Amino acid sequence: YSSGAGKQWMHPPEALLRGHIVYYVKFLGHVEVDTPKGSDVVKDAIRKMKFSKQIKKAEGQKPPKVELTISIDGLSILESKSKAVQHQYPLHRISYCADDKSDKRMFTFIAKAAETDVHHCFVFDSEKCAEEITLTVGQAFDLAYRRFLESSSKDMDSKKQHLLLQKKVQQLTQENLTLKARVALLERLIDPKIVQEQERKQAVSPLFECYANMVWDCIFSVWLLFVLL
């Protein structure tokens, strides 16, 4: 599956976006590390965990089988039978992951503990699929980053629309204030006496016009009677 940037991934994007990928592995343990990344750091952690494995084997102990689940939300380590979560880390707290090129069974990742600056390297025996697990984690990071960019773009569009609406409201408010100021100015400029005189004329004019019409009607009637006689 292509990421759109020339990279080929192991799984369809929906598998990591809407669900998770599960790998059944042996959990060798984890060890505190001084730095959050680096191939030498994980190689040293692998060496320590292999040594610890040999000691436990001599004591009759076997490394526990766990489910390593991967999604865009992070990595989780679950007990294989009870499904109890032993460790869980969101992607932003995972600083490094790698498979051991000299031993294709070994997969590791380094994660930061919550609310501290302490980092631990987790080591797994993955039955020769360590490289696939590394690619799956890389795909999860790629998809999470793309989702972040899309979400940020939508947030920016919403903010732009909000700012435009806010600016429009401010413009309308200013226009309303300007119109009110102009009306108030006109009211102060107009002489109340002139207004009253104009209103009086408008009230008298219709009566005068009616009276004039009556006079002309009478004159016309008298003239017509004189002609007929």
Strands 21-33 and 106-112: unpaired
Neighbours of 187 (CB within 10 A): 9
Enter the pTM of the model.
0.64
Mention every residue, 6+ apart, whose C-beta is less than 8 A from residue 155: none
Give the position of tokens 């007929």: 228
Rg (CA), the chain: 44
Domains along the sequence of the chain with CATH:
13-152 (2.30.29.30)
pLDDT in tens, 89-124: 999 999 999 999 899 999 999 999 988 999 999 999
Q: Is the pLDDT of residue 72 over 80?
A: yes
Neighbours of 115 (CB within 10 A): 6
Q: What's the whole-number mean pLDDT along residues 31-51?
A: 95
Q: Is the pLDDT of residue 225 over 70?
A: no
Q: What are phi and psi of 116, to 5 degrees?
A: -140, 175
Q: Which of the 8 DSSP states describes residue 92?
A: G
pLDDT in tens, 159-199: 666 566 667 667 766 776 777 777 666 666 665 665 566 65
Assigned token pair, 91: 């992607």
Q: Is the pLDDT of residue 7 over 70?
A: no
Strands 21-33 and 94-99: unpaired
Contact 123, 67 (CB under 8 A): no
Contact 124, 68 (CB under 8 A): yes
Using DSSP's 3-state secondary structure scheme, residue 33 falls into: strand
| Pairwise CA distance, residues 33 & 49, whole Å | 13
